[in-house]
Amino acid sequence: MHRLLKNILFGLTDAHVILEPVSGQLMHPEALAAFDQLRRDARAAGFDPKVVSGFRDFRRQRTIWNAKASGQRPLLDNEGKALEVARMSPEETVFAILRWSALPGGSRHHWGTDFDVIDAAAVPEDYRVQLTPEEVADSGVFGPFHCWLDRRIAEGKSHGLFRPYAEDRGGVAPERWHLSYAPRAKEFQQMLSAHTLQEQLQLCQGEDAVALADTVCGEMPVIYPRFVDVPESAYPTNIDRL
């Protein structure tokens, strides 16, 4: 695999992303173009989509992961309640982290094709976004925007954007706020594999090490299909015509 492409897949470079000027987030150029089109449609309907998290590199994802593995950040169960890391086995800790946070090297945010979005028109400027299921529920503060977006996606009018975690498939918790630019994301995903991801984790040593990497590698046959790979059925059926 070409070195630059490998670096893109694992979030080791930002050479493939550009600045989204409103939010200051970095995004893949094609994902940004699609988002700009979606934003124009949404503003005409009374919404104001804003990206709150775009490209995230390997180092940033590792910081989040390691903080959760050490108990420095909250580790949550399926209902969003805090867990006690000290009482959990390494395997239990790994799967609990994966429910809510991506594995470093296995995050779709590395590609710049994926981003988290809110409706800025629904909240004051000083509102602290949590990205919780309650915020994006139909009755939540961002519910009306996401109901509108549901219809756009279903009608094939979302400019290639879709939700890779729209439903609970027993891996990543549903993330209604997470959008992905299907054409490029699908290409990147097809280039990634459990083997190459495991190799990357094993290369990270010392201060660059990913916490519980040995446990992750041992469980990779289970982790990859459940928490990294997004099934073909989740992508838009009209992807080639977007």
**What pLDDT is attached to residue 239?**
55
Q: Sign of torsion, CA 206 204 228 175?
A: positive
Instruction: Supply the pLDDT for residue 178.
Output: 98
pLDDT of residue 78: 85
Domain ranges across the chain: 1-56+107-192, 65-105+193-230
pLDDT digits (tens, 9 = 90+) for 23-78: 999 999 999 999 999 999 999 999 999 999 999 999 999 999 999 999 999 998 88
Going by C-alpha positions, the residue among 228, 237, 241 that lies closest to residue 104 is 228
pLDDT tens, 121-176? 999 999 999 999 999 999 999 999 999 999 999 999 999 999 999 999 999 999 99
How do 25-27 and 18-20 pair as beta strands? Answer: antiparallel
Q: Name the architecture of domain 1-56+107-192.
A: 2-Layer Sandwich (3.30)
Model pTM score: 0.95
198: its two tokens = 């495991």
pLDDT of 108 > 80? The answer is: yes
Per-residue pLDDT of 80-104, as tens digits, reads 788 998 899 999 999 999 999 999 9
Any idea of the CA torsion for 9, 193, 116, 216, to the nearest 10 degrees?
Answer: -110
User: 61: burial class by Cβ within 10 Å (0-12, 13-18, 19+)?
Assistant: buried
What is the C-alpha separation between 90 and 218, in angstroms, rounded? 11
Query: DSSP readout, the chain?
Result: --HHHHHHHTT---TT-EEETTTTEEE-HHHHHHHHHHHHHHHHTT--EEEEE----HHHHHHHHHHHHTTSS--B-TTS-B--GGGS-HHHHHHHHHHHSPPTT--GGGGTSEEEEEEGGGS-TT------HHHHSTTSTTHHHHHHHHHHHHTT-STTEE-TTSS--SSSPP-TTEEEEHHHHHHHHHH--HHHHHHHHHH--GGGPPTTHHHHHHTHHHHIIIII---GGGS-TTGGG-
